[in-house]
Each structure stands twice: as C-alpha cells, then as structure tokens.
Structure 1
Amino acid sequence: MKTLQDFKQSFNSAQPEASLTAQLKSLWYDGKGDWQQAHAQVDHLTDRESAWVHAYLHRKEGDIGNADYWYSRAGQKRPNISLNEEWEQLVVNFL
C-alpha cells in the first residue's frame, strides 16, 4: 500500500493486510469504525509511533486528559484539526 487512497480502498477487505504495521492496523480498524479493535492494536505498545496513534484514539473517544498523556509520550502536541484530518495525517505518516 502506497497511498491514502489505497489504504481507504482496503476497507473493502474483511481484515487488514498482514504486512501492515501495528499503527496502520490500528488506523485501519478505526477507519472501519471499530474503535475497540483499533485500540487493542496499540494499547500494549510503548514506542512513540504507537503512542501517537493511541493519543488520537483517546482524543476521538473524548478522553482529552488521557489523549494529552499519550501525545506527550509520543513527543507530539494535540492538534487543532478535525479527527478526520488527523486520521489522514497519521495514515500518510505511517505509509
């Protein structure tokens, strides 16, 4: 997968591609509307990239305090953009 469009088209599949990173699998499940499965992909990981996705997921959930903790762990600041824009930025970053 090379583009955001390719990534979105993969939503037609029942499962994410096995070759995707944990971060992209998380964003894939979130894009398909499965927040719980998206969270499960990164909840146990401690690297900065996973923390960034984790932060986004908690922002989406509405738990801003928890989101800000994870943004800090990721070395990021909570963005002042829509959730959809952040999701797309994350996907493009990790592709």
Structure 2
Amino acid sequence: MATISEQQFLASLEQDPPTVELPPLLQAIRLGLRGEWETAHGIAQTMEDDADGAWVHAWLHRIEGDLGNAGYWYRRAGKPAATESTDAEGRAIARALLER
C-alpha cells in the first residue's frame, strides 16, 4: 500500500505536519492516534467501501466508544472486534497496511 516504512510512519506521529506523504488510510490512522478523531473519521468515511477503510472506520468508532457502530464496521471489514488498546490496534492496522 505505501512506500514508507513503519519507522517513518511512527515518526510522523510526532510531526506536524508530517514530513512524509501518507495515503489516506494511514493519514486517518495517524490523526486517530493523535486524537484528531473528527478529521480521521471524515477520511475513513470516504474509504468505507473498501475492507481496509471499513477496518479503520471500525477502529475509529471504537476510539469514540460507539462499540455497536464499531461492530458493524468490523463485520464489513471481515475482521474480529479488537480487544487490545485502541492505540495498539491503530498501530497494528498501520503495520498491516504498510506491509502490503
């Protein structure tokens, strides 16, 4: 998916603006991890027809605390509902996307 490394993505969490160009779903994850939920959610909503977009959307609703809505998006993504911390899940989703 991306031509950046996990290390570059993690470094972008501390940068404002990031020094690397991120694809939309990684932008959404970055913003979600930084606490910028509304902007992250707006990006995820434009990508929700894609399984990866639905996965990010599920994670964002989990951050929001809307577990019912998160469950819907996890099902759309074909993923089990996560039980780890939302921070750990966001990083895991980013890692999975970066490995593609």
If the length of structure 2 is used for normalisation, what is the TM-score?
A: 0.83
Matched, 1:53 2:56: yes
Q: Which runs of 5+ in 1 are unaligned?
A: none
Separation in structure 1 between the aligned mates of residue 9 and residue 71 of structure 2, nearest angstrom: 27
Matched, 1:64 2:67: yes
**2:44 matched to which residue of 1?**
42
Q: 1:93 aligns with which of 90, 96, 100?
A: 96
Aligned CA RMSD, in angstroms, stands at 1.4
If the length of structure 1 is used for normalisation, what is the TM-score?
A: 0.87
Q: Which of structure 1's runs of 4+ aligned residues deviate more than 6 A?
A: none
Separation in structure 1 between the aligned mates of residue 96 and residue 38 of structure 2, nearest angstrom: 22
Q: Which runs of 5+ in 2 are unaligned?
A: none
Deviation at 1:59, TM superposition (A): 0.7
Work out the number of aligned pairs and report it. 93
